[in-house]
Structures are given as structure tokens and as C-alpha cells.
Chain A
Amino acid sequence: MIFPVIVAQGESSMADNGLLESVLRLVEKVDGGTDSQDVAADLGVDHQVIVGAVKSLQALGEVISAEQKSSRHWELTGEGREIAEQGSHEARVFNAIPDEGLPQNQLMKMPSGKVGFSKAMSNKWIRLDKAHEGGPRVFKTVTIEDTVRDKLQLVQKGQSAKLEDKEKNELKKRKLLSEVTVKSYWITKGSSFSTTITKQETELTPEMIASGSWKEKKFKPYNFEAMGVAPDCGHLHPLMKVRTQFRQIFLEMGFTEMPTNNFIESSFWNFDSLFQPQQHPARDQHDTFFISDPALAHEFPQDYLERVKKVHSEGGYGSQGYKYDWKIEEAQKNLLRTHTTAVSARMLYKLAQQKFTPVKYFSIDRVFRNETLDATHLAEFHQIEGVVADYGLTLGNLMGILHQFFTKLGITKLRFKPAYNPYTEPSMEVFSYHEGLKKWVEVGNSGVFRPEMLLPMGLPEGVSVIAWGLSLERPTMIKYGINNIRELVGHKVNLQMVYDSPICRLDS
């Protein structure tokens, strides 16, 4: 393996040029390369110094190539080095004993006393006269040869090969030798090998450009493996990036944006105008946030309100109605809108007050539900809604336009399931085939607004209004691989996620 070049290495950490050139001269002499340990031995310097030199040479470009390898070899332990220098414990004990002998207790006080005594005894180098006058006394018996020291010195000189394995293992057992793995380099000439070191420039400077000196200079290679410096900039929130894309899609399809900047809505526009009966579960305190201040809406188009009341309580426009006692008090209750369809209702009512022209509307804005919160549900989320009003629109048209819309999101495989919604009939849930999950997943809801909603507004009889909706959060969570909605929306999001989120192209 060729090690990556290191740009950041400064001059100071580099080995001096003299050593580098010495290394290069050695490399020049051998064909097929040399081991950095041999270089160290030849130059008589520590191996680590040569490792540093190799790294410095690598930083110069293709002067050398160095491949790291590891080899096992024998090395003296601390105690081993001490023995190689001062002799084995037993030899030191032996040498400390004068011809007239030495009292045992005095010998034992020596640094090598205990170990040296027993080892010298077992070697029969010395004898102990326990009955000696004045206490036990030790005497030399023979002349000796300190073979342990000799062997260790061989290893120290790098000639451990001269010892037999048995000998080495014995010394290892005595913790004088250890077998270590050495990481070294196999150094060969590089493609631009030279035995002289040219100083490399780190960066191009205005002076070099002016003088043309850059032509003569060598430049330190860059480390292309490293990351660049992050630009100093702000970031858009991922959910808002997705919102921008959805807006773009609607605009491309010719849809006009509805004024959804009214979070507070009356029950009348949020429910009654949509032909959602007053006992409907969605109107329950458990599902909807009601407003205590300002609690009631105080202004309604009066004629229209009467028509809404009638269609709920008695029917009309071809409908049986819900046949219940419709109360203005319920309709007046203010709430946080539960869907942007409340705004669609206002827009369609407004449209009905003029000579009819076909419209295509959209909105993407916040809606509120007093629901139990979990990993995918918050009390507020963004609803995406599209509405088309024209004469003679069909259910097939709704499917066609949904197909076009979802194609722009990169979703082409759609199918539709009959569903129920109080203000659309027919109602269809939109499913798309999820290649990852290998199943059909619901991606939106759609339908044709009921005549009981449209006719009281005053829209012409033949006009159909088709509409669909989905949440902004769900596709965003899928797009950015987020499982918990709290990691996407609200103050608890990790800003790093915002900083790191890629641009949004929904169709790719």
C-alpha cells in the first residue's frame, strides 16, 4: 500500500536535508529497494528517525515510494539491556566476591543479590559455607564465562540469528528478551527519484506569477483525500425547501396560490360550509382546537348562511340533508383551522359571487389538530391542497391531474381506493407503489366536492370541483430519511441536520 502524501507537514517536523540525502544515496545504491531498518543500521541512527525521513521524502512527491511492512524480531527488555551492559546478575554476584569470600547477608544486600545468588548457586559458580565463623559466607569455586551477557549482546548487535531458538526462548522466559513486531518501510526509487532535495513550495504566490518563478519551482502535492473548509453561509430549512418545490410544481401546472394566511377560522367556514354536520366527530373538543378569545366569529354572508343551514337541516339541491337541528351557535365558534379546505371554501364562495370562470387553486400552509402526539403526528402540520373548478370535470379528470401532479414528484405508479369524506363524493385515497417497502402506501386524499357544498355557494349547476390534499411533512420525512417528525419540525431540531440537508429535487 502506498501511503497518502501529507501536505500539512511543516518544514520543522521534517528531517534535515543531510539525512534525507544520505537515505537517498543508500536507496540509489541498491536495486529493488531496501528496508528502513537496514538503512537505520547502516547510518547508525534510530529506526524512528529513518521512519520520519521516509515520511518527509514521501511528502516531496514521487521521489521514493515506500511500502509499509511489518517484521518480527528479538529485542532486549529493560532488564536485558542492563545485563548486556553490566553482566548477568549471577556474574555480577560472582565478580563481587573477593577470593576470601563474602558474608551471605552482605551479598544479599547487593542489587542483584537474591537472583544472582540462586542462579550462581545452581550454576555451581559459588559455594555457601553455612558454618563459617561469623555467619554464613560465600566463596567463588571456579572461573566463569558470562554467556547470558554474551548472548544478549549478540541480540543487541542485531545478530539474534546466531542464537538457537531454545536459547532465545530461555532468555524470553527470564524476561530479558522479547519478540516484537517492527513496522518498517520497504523503500524503492520513485518515478522522480533524485539524490538531491529541492525545497517544495506550498502555494502559488502573486510574486511567483509576476516573476514567472513558478516555472522552476516544485510544489507540494495536495491531499485530495481531505475535506475542504465549509463555506460561511446560511441554510434553508429542509421542510421549507420541499415547500418551495411543491409551490413550483403547482405554479408549473397553472395553479394560483390561495390566501391561507388566516390560522383562525370560524366553524362555519371550517365545517358547515363544507357540509360537515355539526355532530361530526371532527368537531369534537378532542380533535379541534377551539378559541376562547376571540371565541366567536361575528360576520357571515347572511343569505349563504341561511342556505347552508337549510341544506344541513332539511336538504335541498337534490339532497336529503342530514335532518338535524342546525345551530348558528355551533357555526360561530372560532377554531384553529383543521384544514386549508376552509380557505378553499371561502375562495369558491367568492368565485360564485362573480360570473363563473374556471379556476385552479393551490395552497400549502399550516393546519392544526388537537390530537395525541406521536412520532408522526404533531398538533400542527402543513397541508398541501389543490383545487380545480370547471364545467364538466370528471372523476377521470381528477385521476388524470393527480397522475400529472405525482409524476412531478417522481411517483408514476398510482392507484385509487374508494374512501369516505364528508365533503367529497366520490372520495378517493391515493396510493403509490413504494419500491422500497414493496407495497402500496397512501400518499394523499382526493375527491369531488359535494353539490350540497357547492350549490348553496351559488356555483352554477354544471360546475364540478375536484380537489386533493396531502401533508408536506410526510414526503419530506421520506425524502430526507427522517423517522421522527420532531427531528424535522419545531425548535428541538438539530441545526446540524438543517446545515447538512441537500437541495430538494422531488422528481429524482
Chain B
Amino acid sequence: MPTVSVKRDLLFEALGQKYTDEEFDELCFEFGLELDEITSEKEILIREQGGEKAEGASDVVLYKIDVPANRYDLLCLEGLVRGLQVFKEKLEAPRYKRVSPADGGEPQRLVITEETASVRPHAVAAVLRNITFTQERYESFIELQEKLHQNICRKRTLVAIGTHDLDTISGPFTYTAKPPGEIRFKPLSQSREYTAAELMSLYKTDSHLRHYLHIIENEPLYPIIYDSNGIVLSMPPIINGDHSKISLNTKNIFIECTATDLTKAKITLDMVVTMFSVYCDEPFTVEEAEVVYPDGRLSVYPELAYRTETLSGDFINKRVGINESAESIAQLLTRMCLRSEVSGEGDLIQVEIPPTRADVIHACDIMEDAAIAYGFNNIVRSTPRTYTVANQLPVNKLTELLRQDLTAAGFTEALTFALCSEEDIADKLRKNITETRAVHISNPKTADFQVARTSLLPGLLKTIAANRKMPLPLKLFEISDVVLKDETKDVGARNNRRLCAVYYNKSPGFEVIHGLLDRVMQLLDVKPGRNQGYHIQAAEDSTFFPGRCAEIFSCGKSIGHLGVLHPDVISRFELTMPCSAIDIDIEPFL
């Protein structure tokens, strides 16, 4: 969930009202935001870098507000204020307009060459005319781009935004891709020119930019945008050129978004221009720009598309569980920036979805907004009449019953991890990893998550190792799932419910573990016997001490092993006493 940091006083000034922290928190809750933290730059610095660094830092109160991940229109102060003002019916949602250049001139044009196809094939663009920045507006503009980059743009992989002072460059612009050695320009915040190759190594150590290098690093061609004089605007998705950088005094802004996902590029562009066109001489208007594709197709951006959906009041009422007139529902929706009107036909409502609400893709999204405006906590809570009879999953039912009786038999339940290291299930148990049928994880952050366990035994032995100070004997069990590769399953693996128990004492206690087996079989109503019953039979298993291991058969089928653990197994789990164990599959008893 993205967090937006805004200055409290600035926020209240824009909202035209002062709130107490509690009141504002309440408003956030109702609207689906969360006032996550009340802090200041100073406080943040003290916390992150210590008191010294914080000296002289601002103690202006900051609100950190959590915004739902799909509401890109709330990622800056301007959007938050607009959303809340409309919600509180203090403001009508503005209508965003795409306009042609005022003087009847040609729109700005961005020409995409075919070289981009392999690396970053899409681009969109727009112009904000006669904008007036203040320090705060400027900062918010930069911050919004950063928030969009982190969220909808998926850390610039899907979309990268570049904003430029249009008065320093001249179109038409060319979006192309070139070998890194052939790209040379002075990037933002640097004092000289670098080749693209040099930049990539320069930014290896840049705490911010290094995260984006991988996007194009291994591409033969890097994306690059030039103006008609060969000046570099940007090398997306890494860095803009220094030449066209915007400042507080910038009046006209050229915005380009390059992308691998065109839909997201359009949304991103719409967000930037809808949020900041408020500061243009003619608010909420955006000057169009043309984008020419390699095949000659021409598109005009920003799209700023309005879409109309028609739905009935009855649909909303039935889904939410309220009983409101179509008129009042239309009013509720209008408060969510979805301008709505009763169409006059029955209880049909026409809902206009503005370009800022890309999150609304289905009638259910509209229904939710009606419910939010109505107030979730004003909805009457009612019990559904759904009549059903409950059933337990047989394997869980059996597990529950056995767990109770194993504790009655004096064994204590352990709860261990389903993920572990290869070593735990192989080397430490004196097994070869290839014979374990283990499922392997491709991206573990540590060795503790290399595989899904194929046996419950390592977890129990590790539990004992962590509890060596406890009085002996230690008697532990676990009934839980292991995971085994299984070609017959759609995903190629399945769980298997196992019962494992260990006895750890000064003497091995094989008879104790054997007695537990007899008790478990008694509980499962399986009598001792070779054919219909259960029996054990001497076996060799590398985990166990030679001559001290038996295989367990029930109704002629092998279900597991019991025995005294091999001394090497005991030492490899950092234990010092003899230990006997039983490990059986309980699924045959379902």
C-alpha cells in the first residue's frame, strides 16, 4: 500500500478546514485511507540517522497517509484534496479537457522509431501550458512521479515518466534506441557528458538509480529521446538530460512516458496531467501531443477518456444491502468523483467514469464506491440465510483425533516449519537429496527456505536441540504435511500427512517408540498381524542405527519406519543422547 506524505497545514489549508488528528483519522477511515503516522522531517531524521543530523531540520507536521494500491489519483496532495473535497461535497469534480495548441499551432510531436520495438516499444506524451509552480507544488510534482514510478509503473519496468521544460527544447522529438556507446549526453545532476555505457557504471553505486539499471542493462540498444536539434531529453527508464530539466520557473512542460505496457502508460500520463493541470492558467486543460508509431499510425495523447456506464439503482441496493432511491445513489456516486445522473428510464443511473478513476473497470467497482459514500458502517448487518451442513476434511478430522490421544500417551506436540534447508532433509538424515523427492524453491533468501520438507523428523530434532536444557526424557510428536514430487498431480507435487514422534533420553527407548506405534494402531483399530493387521520387520535405513530399524507394514503395505537414530544423525542435529523415532504416513487410514 503506497504511503503519501503531506504537510498537515498545507493539507488543511487546501481542504479549507482544520481537523484534529482524530477527526482527520476518522475521515480517512470512512474514505478508505489510513492516517498511518503523524511525524515531521526532523522526527524522521532523528529516527533514521540520529539527533545530530536532524539539527535544523523542519518540524512542520507531516501526515503519512496510506492510499489503496489502485487509487493512483490519490498519490499526491492535489489528488487527495480533490478526492476529499468532492467526497465532502465542497467541490464538484473538475472536468479534464484536452485542447489543441492555443495559437492554432502544430501540436508537439513524438516520433517512435522501430529500434524501440525490442526494448521499450510504447510512448505517450502531453504538454502542460502556462503552469505556475511554487516550491511546494514543484516538490509535489516530483514526488507524484516517484510514487507513480514505484506503483503503477512497477519500479519503471512498465512505464517511465520524463518531464521537461518545453521552452529549452524544440520538437518534433524522436524516440529511438541506440547502442550504449553511441549515446552521449549530460544527465541530470552531473557536470559533464557521459556515454550511456559510462552512465551505467556511474549509477551502479547510486542508491536510487541502481535499482533501475537492470531494466535495460543487457539490451543491445538503449531507449533514448532527442529533440530536433539532437539534444537528449531522456534515456528512459534511467535518467533525464540536464538540458531540459524543469525548475520552479518552468512555464511549459513536455511530458513523455515510455513503456512496455501501453495501457499503464496512458493511465500514468493521465494521472500526471489531471493532477497538475490545476496549476495551469486555464485549469484542468491539457495540451495534446501527437505520437507517431513506426508504421505511420498517429495517436493523440493524453487520452483523458470519459466512459459512461449504465446500471440500475436496484443492482446497487441488492449488492450492498441498502434501500436507496436512484437519485440518492447517483448523489453518492457523484461524491466519489463518478458524476452520475438518473437517466429517467426506470431506476437506471448513468455513471461517468473520469480519466482519474482507472481503477473502475466493472460495475462492481461502482457498487463499492456507492457503498463507501453511503458509509460501510451505516449498512445494516444481516445474516445470510444460506443453509448448509458442515463437513470436516477427513484427513484433518483424523489428525485432530490422533493429536489428542498422542498427548494422552505422554507426547508433546511440536509445530515446526514446512520449509527447511536441503541439508536438513538430506545430509543430516544421511540421505541423498536426489532420493528425497523434494520440491525445490528457486528464490530462497536464506538456506532455511531451500526445500519443502520431505520428513517431519528434522523439525522435531531441531526442536529438541533448542530445548536441551529441559528435563529428560523429551517426548515429542507432530502430525502435519510433508511435500513430495508427484508427476500425477497437475502441479507435479502433493502433500502427504505424516505422524512423526521422537523419544530422547539417556537410553534409546526403542520400546517406548514401539509402544507408541502399538498405541497408535490400537487407536486406528488395526490389530497386530501379518495380513489384515500391522507388523514390523527389520529393515535398513541410513537414518537409523544398523540393526535397530524396522519397517512398519499395515495390511501388507509399508507405511513408515521406526528405530534408533544413527549416531551421526544425532550429532548432526547437535544432540548428545540416544534417540528413537517413528515416522508414518497416516493417509492409508482415512
Contact = CB atoms under 8 A, between A and B. Distances in A.
Interface of A: 232-237, 239-240, 244, 247, 250-266, 279, 281, 285, 289-300, 315, 317-324, 334, 336, 358-360, 366, 368, 370, 378-380, 388, 390, 392-397, 399-401, 403-404, 415-420, 422, 425-428, 448, 450-452, 464, 466, 489-496, 498-499
A256 B493 contact: no
Contact of A396 (B322, B386, B439): B322
Given A247-B392, A379-B448, A493-B463, 4 more contacts: A255-B388, A256-B389, A318-B362, A370-B444
Contacts of B102: none
A494 B466 CA distance: 8
A265 B387 CA distance: 31
B463 A396 contact: no
Interface stretch (B285-293, B369-377, B525-533): B369-377
Contacts of A366: 418, 481
Interface in B98-145: none
Given A292-B441, A418-B32, A489 B485 contact: no
21 contacts: A233-B408, A235-B407, A255-B390, A259-B393, A261-B395, A263-B452, A264-B483, A291-B442, A292-B441, A297-B491, A300-B490, A324-B261, A368-B418, A370-B444, A379-B419, A380-B419, A393-B386, A394-B320, A418-B372, A420-B1, A492-B466
B390 A251 contact: yes
A247 B368 CA distance: 31
B306 to A, nearest CB: 13
A492 B460 CA distance: 10
Contact of A360 (B388, B415, B460): B388
A98 B449 CA distance: 98
A396 B413 CA distance: 41
A257 B393 contact: yes
Interface in B58-92: 68-71
Q: Which 5 A-B pairs have the closest CB atoms?
A: A396-B321, A394-B321, A418-B32, A294-B492, A420-B68
Contacts of B452: 263-264, 336
Contacts of B264: 324
Nearest to B391: A256
A257 B396 contact: yes
A391 to B, nearest CB: 9
Contacts of A235: 407, 412-413
B475 interface: yes
B362 A425 contact: yes
B457 to A, nearest CB: 12
A324 B382 CA distance: 39
A420 B383 contact: no
B363 interface: yes
A251 B462 CA distance: 34
Nearest to A491: B462
Contacts of B418: 263, 366, 368, 380
B495 A262 contact: yes
Contact of B491 (A255, A294, A400): A294
B477 to A, nearest CB: 8
A236 B32 CA distance: 41
B387 A358 contact: yes
B49 interface: no
B390 A418 contact: no
Nearest to A395: B320
A336 B452 CA distance: 9
Contacts of B485: 293-294
A294 B493 contact: yes
Interface residues of B, number: 97
Contacts of B252: none
Contacts of B263: 322-324
Nearest to B466: A492
B504 to A, nearest CB: 11
A87 B32 CA distance: 96
B34 interface: yes
Contacts of B167: none
A256 B397 CA distance: 12
A193 B513 CA distance: 58
A136 to B, nearest CB: 72
Contact of B443 (A266, A334, A370, A378): A370
Given A290-B442, A491-B465, A495-B474, A400 B416 contact: no
B218 interface: no
A450 B419 contact: no
Contact of A251 (B392, B459, B470): B392
A176 to B, nearest CB: 53
A498 B407 CA distance: 12
B261 to A, nearest CB: 6
Contacts of A260: 393
Contacts of A250: 390
Contacts of A392: 318
Given A234-B408, A425-B362, A397 B491 contact: no
Contact of A234 (B390, B413, B416, B470): B413
B376 A428 contact: yes
B381 A396 contact: yes
A479 B404 CA distance: 21
A334 B154 CA distance: 22
Which of A293, A401, A428, A489: most chain B CB closer than 10 A? A293
A321 B392 CA distance: 37
Given A417-B34, A495-B412, A320 B362 contact: yes
B386 to A, nearest CB: 4
B265 to A, nearest CB: 11
Contacts of B493: 262, 264, 291, 294, 334
Nearest to A404: B383
Given A234-B406, A334-B491, A490-B416, A291 B393 contact: no
B362 A452 contact: yes
A370 B389 CA distance: 37
B411 interface: yes
A425 B364 contact: yes
A419 B32 contact: yes
Contacts of B367: 425-426
A370 B475 CA distance: 32
A237 B414 contact: yes
Nearest to A418: B32
B488 to A, nearest CB: 10
A324 B395 CA distance: 41
Nearest to A289: B441
Nearest to B414: A237
B413 A236 contact: yes
Contacts of B408: 233-234
Contacts of A285: 443
B453 to A, nearest CB: 10
B494 interface: yes
Contacts of B440: 291-293
Contacts of B411: 234
